[in-house]
Structure 1
Amino acid sequence: MSIWTHLRKAFTPERKSLASPDAALLSLFGLTETTSAGIVVNQAEALKVPVVANAIQLISEAVASLDVTVKRIEGQDEVDVPDHPLLALLRDEANDWTTGFELIRQIVRDALMNDAGGLAWVNRVNGEPREIIRYRQSFLQFDLDLDTGERRYRLNNQPVPARDVIHLLPPLDRCPLSLAREAIGIAVALDRHAGKLFTRGARPSGALLIPKGMQEEAVKAARAAWRLAHEGEDQGRTAILYDGMTFEPFTFNSTDAQFLENRRFQIEEIARAFNIPAPMVGDLSRATWSNSEQKGREFLSYTLEPWLRGLEGALRRALFSDEERGNHVIRFDRDDLTRADLATRATTINSLISSRTINPNEGRQWLGLPPREGGNEFLNPNISAAPAPEPAEDKPDAAE
């Protein structure tokens, strides 16, 4: 175990704070948010709605799956720094028990689910980052100056420098889960109704029509006999009616009652709160072969790009030294998300080579292929003449 792990454990036990209460403290005082549908929507309840869990998982894992690089700014260009020590924290292990993928995924997930955003503490030794730890929000907190917007951070109620905290803020000062609380509440209500829809709680399967004049005791006996024969584990047996009784089944079409349409609309409504195209969360009612790729580009441009920009800035502010911050940046590689199908990529690369915008080796690099000899020349293969074959040497006549 490393020395900074021992130093971290020397902190005093955790103390709760009313200034930044967690879910347990809120429930202790009954301070839970109830929607207009009368349903309390906390994180645990919200994640039970499939579209909410899918949206949070989709965004957080898409960001964490991208390759992260450190670049040095040289004039107008950004040059890779493949041996920078920060890459070991962001790619391999952020600390002894958390990988870089898990850390980034958790920071983005917290920003999607908590109004305070995603926070992580950078442990420095001799001014250099040695590990990054994501604490519970009741342990790592911040106070906001309402006049200037300055954030003052506290780790276990002890002040820590702002430059030692990675902080990814949600948009609109509230996380998407909080902004969609009413829509999630309606989705929960529809799910609960769906659970009752196919049981006796929603609507009886039918009615026994009993002739007028049957005594009360006979009615009770007939009802008990019917339930014994046709409810519970014995349902489906042959019905035997006597004394003129008849059975009239009730029909109920949930589609005609627009129940399924309401559930589909809630999927779209929650997807809008997370700024995700509906096909990305499984609603394929309006998806076609022609617009699926366009929806993927919209997901990168309008959903992921703001989170990526915010995370790149938060990492740069907290991880670089004062000297490096001016000429170093952290970038996530978007190429994996912008790649089109092979036919489209081949057509685009061929067009760029023909217009002499790129050379063949640059096109091969986009395809993950090694360079070839002579591929650095900017030539148009459609009009460039092939080299003429060398003339054959005159052979002496065999008769001579």
Structure 2
Amino acid sequence: MRNPLTIFASLFRPERKSLASPDADLLALFGTPAPTAAGVNVGPGSALTVPAVSCAVRAISEAVATLDVRVMRREGSAEVVAPEHPVAGLLRDRVNDWTPGPEFICDLVAQALLYDAGGLAWVNRVAGRPVELIAYDPAHLTAQRHEDGTGQYRYLLNSREIPAEDVIHLRSPFGRSPVSLARESIGLSLTLERHAAKLFGNGPRPGGMVSFTERMTPDAIKNAAATFAAMLNSEKTGRTAFLDAGADYKQLVLSSVDSQFIELTGFQILQIARAFRVPPQMLYDLDRATWSNSEQMGREFLTYTLEPWLRALEGALRIALFSADEYPTHRVHFERDDLTRADLGARAVAYSSLIASRVVNPNEVRRWEGMEPYAGGDEYANPHTSTSDAPGAAAPQDGGA
């Protein structure tokens, strides 16, 4: 029987790893992604060369960046817009001298979709107020999970530790980016695209084969090939080719096995869509899209794809951009109405119904459409009837006895 102390010591013996055959952890230590089962390295740069991945990243990050961003301030039980707050000016106009606010938000979300560390940006403060936001390259601004196991992070800017309150940190679920979690599917997509490029680009397979019953010298083969090519390249297409010396021509076509990579490519698009939680139609895979389900998938894109990222982004911006005194009463809000807005005809019908039922007044509708109010538009009246009494008012009395 082995000594228990020997067994305990063996559990904590340092493991030796060789650079000749590095494993995934050792490659990650040097910043190199481990090869996938398909034999390719998948990182943020190589993943973006897959059209489905770049389309998913753009669909999410650009959709978030197109939304109007506001700073909301709580006053009692109500919330009002605070356009005068410095944070509102940063996010709405420009975050620094060279980056507009929408571009900054787009890059921050895209980083969180591509890198395990998430989207990181440094907050430059003057007298305690944020005056500049800088999204450094991921190699310069890094995040390291704290050793105490509480889930806190330490942030290094050019190898110098900076306070956590000066960093905007948008993290991906599970602490892993969708690119990292779907690296096998992305690696297979890269392999399929390379196979297709070699198959159709380099021509590893001839278009046809000519066999001769008689033995041919190299010069005779060259002459036969030149004659056959001259007949095919004739200006008069569709002519019959004639071969002598007992030649037999067979056209080579792709087998069903060779052509199945098209189906595999379509399946990989679905796998990548699942990893990013994006409806396939957002990646322009319209095989299963119909008039009836396209609108539903659009709503699912807002509910199940964008909404979690919007909530996480609002929380990350709120923690980093507001002081301890402002945090309880201020927050950043992205207006979702632009994504759920129906077409003009559907909106007109809905607005007319709401005004006629005296739920809203015309000026409220005009404000939703970004139009100026007009005199008398604050009245709750039904324009389709002769009376404009408010709900609950007494019915008009008959003038007779």
What TM-score range do you get, normalising by the shorter chain? 0.7 to 0.9
Counterpart residue type for residue 127 of structure 2? N
Which secondary structure does the structure 2 equivalent of 1:119 belong to? Answer: strand
Write out per-residue CA displacement over residues 140-179 of structure 1, whole angstroms, 9 at most, x where no aligned residue.
1222135211112122222211110000001121101111
Cα displacement (A) at 1:254? 6.0
Name the residue aligned to 1:36: 37
Counterpart residue type for residue 246 of structure 1: D
Q: Distance in 1 between matches of 2:44 and 2:225?
A: 41
Superposed displacement of residue 282, structure 1 = 0.7
CA contact (8 A) 1:193 1:202 kept: no
Unaligned runs of 5+ residues in structure 1 are 1-24, 388-400
Contact 1:255 1:261 in 2 (8 A): no
Change (3 A) 1:235 1:89: farther
For the pair 1:163 / 2:143, whether they are aligned, the reply is no
8 Å contact from structure 1 (residues 254, 260) kept in 2: no
Which stretch has the larger CA shift, 285-294 or 77-86? 285-294
Offset of residue 386 of structure 1: 6.8
Q: CA deviation at 1:253?
A: 6.1
The one of 361, 364, 373 aligned to 2:363:
361
Q: SS of the counterpart of 1:104?
A: helix
Given that residues 82 and 88 in structure 2 are in contact (C-alpha distance below 8 angstroms), is that contact kept between their aligned partners in structure 1? no
Aligned partner letter, 1:356: R
- Alignment partner of 1:282 out of 276, 284, 302: 284
Task: Return closer, same or farther for 1:315/1:228 CA change in 2, 3 Å cut-off.
Answer: farther
Return the offset for 1:280: 0.9
Q: TM-score, normalised by structure 2?
A: 0.82
Secondary structure of the residue aligned to 2:325 is helix
In structure 1, the partner of 2:381 is 379
Paired positions, count:
358
Q: 1:301 corresponds to which residue?
A: 303
CA contact (8 A) 1:73 1:327 kept: yes
Q: 2:184 aligns with which of 178, 182, 185?
A: 182
Q: 1: distance between equivalents of 2:161 and 2:126?
A: 18
Per-residue Cα deviation, 1:92-143 (whole angstroms, up to 9, x for no partner): 2211222212211111111000000000001111211121111122221222
In the other structure, the counterpart of 1:316 is 318
How has the CA–CA distance of structure 1 residues 31 and 227 changed in structure 2, closer, same or farther, with 3 Å as cutoff? farther
1:209 equivalent in alignment to 2:211: yes
- The structural deviation recorded for 1:325 is 1.1
Cα deviation, residue 200, structure 1: 6.1
Change (3 A) 1:336 1:235: farther
Opposite residue 99 of structure 1, the aligned amino acid is P
Identity %: 51
Specify every segment of 5 or more residues in structure 2 that has no aligned partner in the other structure, as ranges. 1-25, 390-401
The alpha carbon displacement at 1:348 in A equals 1.9
User: Which residue number corresponds to residue 222 of structure 2?
Assistant: 224
Q: Which stretch shows the higher mean deviation, 57-66 or 135-144?
A: 135-144
Question: 2 CA distance for matches of 1:272 and 1:297?
Answer: 16
Structure 1: how far apart are the matches of 2:204 and 2:197? 9
CA distance in 1, matches of 2:283, 2:370: 30
- Cα distance, 1:234 vs. partner? 11
> Quick check: 163-172 or 338-347, which moved more?
338-347
Verify the 8 A CA contact 1:190 1:263 in the aligned structure 2: yes
1:249 paired with 2:235, answer no
Aligned-partner Cα distance in 2 for 1:230–1:139: 62
Q: How does 1:325-364 map to 2 (within 5 A)?
A: 325-364=327-366
Residue 146 (structure 2) aligns with: 145
TM-score by length of structure 1 reads 0.82
RMSD value, Cα: 2.7
